[in-house]
């Protein structure tokens, strides 16, 4: 088990290169098994959730060649089982995309119920509803396995009751190889929905309208080989934007699609930060303490729930009172208790956090309650006076590649050490004073 030790107080300065989008990668990897030909996927983030899914895909018999840390070739022609109960698969959310992919390809799938970050109840009724509309019988079996079976998958008209990223991708996967036409209404519009659709189309699928709230899919009999590069990670980019702003730094964030960052850029500009957009990069400069605002998380193009802990951390250091409303997940304020230990003044009432900005944080021993909350606590540590020790960083490693390396390159005093390595801790403290 590792932890981060951080000595805060230095502005981040320099350039950082953003990797491929984790949440797109999960849908794309699952989709890749639907062809019986090689599918090359590039710009893959080398993070734990992605690697677990790749192992599970190899576990059902697909040919998996890891060409390098960011490239994999998958060929689904040798798949011999539709039963996915790989030990670690329960821990990741993206495992449920194998349900849609296997159901679409073989009319049959059995996958262990998905886990993922504990940020709310996270039901999967909309996935179930979508598969059932396509003609599948979906059951929860003993041992927490979801099974989906159809004699034949037939296109259908599906209206999602809630805007769900996961259900939209899962239904797109299954419907790509169903007979006839499927229409998904009230679909999610996140950039990774568009990326998964573009990827499936590159394999011969016929999906139109991804990125709007009506997606039309004409099922095809077969999907074929493809080479595809995943879009940059909007949330990794946003996290570095916030870190630059919080440390009063000057950071050029490269390999991004600035349009995907509009909601984040707009909030930063509103509170007094400079955000300069280029073709495939953004520069964030903060020269002084920023101002207050209101933020409400919403499905894309609204402010992303996956950026809520990070912006709340920034606002906790800004002037005045801010209000952050979480409208997607009911349990996404668990980091507030940890931030309070560092001196933040935040009151949570229901799905709302009322934040009274403080001048600075004090370093403390804190624990990452989930992936994005963990990232927010790193940002807090980078600002705090003195040393912050952050535990449970395995959550962070699920979704951020070389997080510490990228901050160190921007001038941060930070190290990843074993939790029991007292010597490394002392050495770090001596080195950075």
User: Catalytic residues, which ones?
Assistant: 117
Encoded tokens for 337 = 């208790």
Per CB under 6 A, which of residues 347..406 are in contact with ligand EPZ? 371-372, 399
Pairing of strands 250-254, 281-285: antiparallel
Beta-carbon neighbour count of residue 65 at 10 Å?
12
Of the pair 184, 252, the CB lying nearest ligand EPZ is at: 184
Rounded distance between C-alpha atoms, residue 229 and residue 268, angstroms: 29
- Residue whose Cβ sits closest to ligand EPZ: 166
Of the pair 91, 225, the CB lying nearest ligand EPZ is at: 91
Burial class (CB in 10 A: 0-12, 13-18, 19+), 105: buried
Of the pair 188, 286, the CB lying nearest ligand EPZ is at: 188
Of the pair 372, 406, the CB lying nearest ligand EPZ is at: 372
Identify the residue among 3, 23, 147, 247 touching ligand EPZ (CB under 6 A): 23
The string over 43-58, giving b where at least 16 C-beta atoms fall within 10 Å of a residue's C-beta and e elsewhere, is: bbbebbbbbbbbebbb
Per CB under 6 A, which of residues 179..238 are in contact with ligand EPZ? 188
Closest CA to 286 of 322, 233, 240, 254: 240
For residues 413 and 10, is the Cβ–Cβ distance under 8 A?
yes
Q: Which stretch binds ligand EPZ (CB under 6 A): 70-78, 146-154, 158-166, 389-397?
A: 158-166
For ligand EPZ (CB under 6 A), the number of binding residues is 26
Q: Could you say whether residue 306 binds ligand EPZ (CB under 6 A)?
A: yes
Of the pair 7, 372, the CB lying nearest ligand EPZ is at: 372
Q: Could you say whether residue 123 binds ligand EPZ (CB under 6 A)?
A: yes
Contact flags string 24-43 toward ligand EPZ, x per CB under 6 A: --x-----------------
The residue assigned the tokens 């996956």 is 306
For residues 178 and 154, is the Cβ–Cβ distance under 8 A?
yes
Q: Could you say whether residue 329 binds ligand EPZ (CB under 6 A)?
A: yes
Per CB under 6 A, which of residues 167..186 are in contact with ligand EPZ? 167
The residue assigned the tokens 């679409």 is 104
Q: How far is the CB of 357 from ligand EPZ (least distance, A)?
A: 25
CA dist list (Å): 302 to 127, 223, 299, 349, 410: 23, 33, 5, 22, 29
For residues 246 and 317, is the Cβ–Cβ distance under 8 A?
yes
Identify the residue among 164, 247, 367, 388 touching ligand EPZ (CB under 6 A): 164
Cα end-to-end span (Å), the chain: 25
Q: Which stretch binds ligand EPZ (CB under 6 A): 13-21, 99-107, 113-121, 316-324?
A: 113-121
Q: How far is the CB of 28 from ligand EPZ (least distance, A)?
A: 11
Q: How far is the CB of 192 from ligand EPZ (least distance, A)?
A: 7
Of the pair 290, 324, the CB lying nearest ligand EPZ is at: 324
Phi and psi of 108, rounded to 5°?
Answer: -155, 135
Q: Could you say whether residue 159 binds ligand EPZ (CB under 6 A)?
A: no
Of the pair 307, 317, the CB lying nearest ligand EPZ is at: 307
The CA dihedral of 33, 35, 40, 43, to the nearest 10 degrees, is -50
Q: Could you say whether residue 162 binds ligand EPZ (CB under 6 A)?
A: yes
For residues 209 and 138, is the Cβ–Cβ distance under 8 A?
no
Closest CA to 324 of 356, 285, 284: 356
Q: Could you say whether residue 264 binds ligand EPZ (CB under 6 A)?
A: no
Question: Which chain residues interact with ligand EPZ by CB under 6 A?
Answer: 23, 26, 93-94, 117, 119-120, 122-127, 162, 164-167, 188, 305-306, 328-329, 371-372, 399
């Amino acid at each position: 088990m590792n932890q981060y030790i951080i000595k805060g107080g230095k502005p981040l300065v320099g350039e950082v290169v953003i990797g491929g989008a984790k949440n797109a990668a999960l849908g794309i990897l699952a989709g890749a098994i639907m062809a019986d030909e090689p599918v090359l996927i590039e710009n893959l983030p080398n993070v734990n959730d992605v690697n677990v899914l790749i192992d599970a895909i190899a576990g059902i018999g697909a040919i998996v060649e890891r060409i390098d840390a960011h490239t994999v070739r998958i060929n689904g022609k040798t798949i011999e089982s539709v039963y996915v109960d790989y030990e670690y698969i329960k821990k990741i959310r993206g495992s449920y995309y194998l349900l849609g992919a296997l159901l679409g390809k073989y009319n049959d799938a059995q996958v262990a119920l998905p886990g993922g970050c504990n940020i709310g109840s996270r039901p999967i009724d909309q996935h179930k509803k979508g598969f059932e509309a396509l003609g599948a019988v979906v059951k929860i079996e003993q041992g927490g396995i979801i099974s989906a079976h159809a004699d034949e998958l037939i296109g259908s008209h599906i209206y999602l009751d809630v805007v769900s990223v996961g259900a939209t991708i899962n239904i797109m996967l299954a419907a790509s190889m169903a007979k006839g036409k499927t229409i998904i209404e009230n679909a999610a519009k996140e950039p990774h929905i568009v990326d998964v659709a573009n990827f499936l189309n590159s394999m011969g699928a016929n999906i139109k309208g991804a990125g709007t709230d009506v997606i039309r899919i004409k099922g095809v009999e077969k999907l074929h080989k493809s080479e595809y590069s995943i879009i940059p990670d909007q949330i990794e980019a946003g996290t570095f934007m916030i870190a630059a702003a919080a440390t009063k730094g000057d950071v050029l964030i490269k390999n991004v699609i600035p349009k995907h960052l509009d909601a984040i850029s707009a909030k930063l500009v509103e509170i007094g930060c400079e955000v300069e957009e280029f073709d495939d990069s953004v520069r964030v400069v903060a020269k002084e303490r920023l101002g207050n605002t209101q933020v409400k998380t919403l499905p894309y193009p609204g402010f992303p729930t996956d950026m809520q802990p990070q912006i709340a951390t920034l606002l906790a250091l800004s002037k005045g009172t801010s209000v952050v409303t979480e409208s997607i997940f009911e349990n996404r304020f668990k980091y507030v208790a940890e931030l309070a230990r560092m001196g933040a003044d935040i009151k949570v009432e229901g799905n709302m956090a009322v934040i009274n900005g403080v001048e600075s944080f004090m370093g403390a021993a804190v624990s990452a309650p989930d992936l994005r909350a963990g990232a927010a606590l790193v940002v807090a540590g980078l600002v705090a006076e003195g040393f912050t020790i952050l535990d449970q960083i395995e959550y962070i490693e699920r979704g951020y590649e070389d997080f510490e390396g990228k901050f160190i390159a921007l001038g941060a005093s930070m190290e990843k050490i074993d939790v029991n390595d007292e010597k490394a801790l002392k050495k770090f403290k001596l080195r950075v004073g």
